[in-house]
Amino acid sequence: MSEYNESTAAPYSSAFIIPQPLEITYYIIGSTCIIGNMLTIVVIVLAMDIKKTMTNSLILNQSIIDFFCGFFLILTTAASDPTRPMVTISDEIYCKVWLTKGPLWGCFTSSSFNLITITLERLVAIKWPIWYKLSMTRTKVILASLMVWVLGNVVMIGYGVASTTVENGQCNVYVVNSELGYLVVTLQYIMPIVIFIVAYCQIAFILQKRVSPNVQQGDHAKQITRSRNIVLTLVKVVLCFVFCWSWNQLYYLLYLLDLVQMDFQGIFYHFTVVAVFCNCCCNPIVYTISYKNFKVGALKLFGCKAKSTGNNTSSGSAT
């Protein structure tokens, strides 16, 4: 988990005031995330044909979720008062939902779930292309996009409510609960990585089989090239996810297994939290560097002339 585990070092521990250098770091990360993902949203909506490719619709949803990660990072940092006395029902809700940063971690978990959705969409499109073209509809993509929002927030806000207590007017956030801890680490980190490994190994095997000396030219070869470009872009997104999340999640998992003692106010722990937050800033950079259709759309939007290549078509379905 990330910053919300800061209080599990003791049976009960109240929410703490964030040190100013860390607070400034959160503001910088949040602002970068908002700007980067807002530009990504603008490029996808205005310069790319999202109606013709389901993948772009899901990438758009990913960018919207990551935008709100940055938004809630700034808001929960600026508008939290851990010294507030907890007296009324509204105070208890404030403690269990807001001081636990429920909306922020709900968005981060939704982002993980949406990345799983994109991965499975690519696997189905490449492995069963006929079924995909006949059965995959815009409505199903919208429902899947909405579902990741709901599931992510239910998991993390539910976790915060279940593991936070109010005693003697004090908000004790994220009391130690190993069972809930294992569940959240599994849903948020272990399950996505297992799915990514299985799915992308299958995708790589299928695309490798389809490349032969007889299909080096023509529309089929271009379609394979587009598919490979999308997949390679998504693999880089996944690698960013793994790099940013592994420090915190493995550290926390070792703590749950009683293999290490975590210092929730230590430099390394704060580094793991910052690494997780940085994940919401990575995707716009990856799209700009690797995703050819996105680069063409960005150049088109900002009035630059894209270098003409046979593989930069922004409209075709890259199955």
Tell me, what's the pLDDT at 312? 45
In a domain, 206, yes or no: yes
Q: What is the pLDDT of residue 282?
A: 95
In a domain, 243, yes or no: yes
Amino acid 177: pLDDT:
72
Q: In the prediction, which pLDDT does 14 show?
A: 43
Query: Residue 137's closest CA among 114, 152, 149, 121?
Result: 121
What CATH number does residue 156 fall under? 1.20.1070.10
Q: What is the pLDDT of residue 169?
A: 85
Q: Report the number of distinct structural domains present in the chain.
A: 1
pLDDT of residue 318: 52
Tell me, yes or no, whether 189 lies in a domain.
yes
Backbone angles phi, psi at 221, to 5 degrees: -65, -40
Residue 311 lies in a domain: no
Reported pTM: 0.87
User: How far is the CA of 68 from the CAs of 63, 76, 100, 109, in angstroms?
Assistant: 9, 12, 16, 12
Can you give the pLDDT at residue 48? 81
- Residue 154's pLDDT is what? 95
Does residue 157 sit within a domain? yes
Q: Is residue 128 part of a domain?
A: yes
Model pLDDT, residue 227: 82
Question: Measuring CA to CA, how many Å separate 169 from each of 53, 82, 88, 97?
Answer: 52, 11, 9, 16
- Whether residue 262 lies inside any domain: the answer is yes
* Consecutive 10-residue averages of pLDDT for the chain (319 residues): 40 58 95 96 85 85 97 94 88 91 95 96 93 91 96 92 85 76 93 96 88 56 80 95 96 91 84 95 93 86 62 46
Amino acid at 296: V
Residue 267 vs residues 156, 245, 257: alpha-carbon distances, Å:
25, 16, 21
Q: Is residue 188 part of a domain?
A: yes
Domain holding 59, by residue range, is: 3-298
Please say whether the beta carbons of 262 and 269 come within 8 A: yes
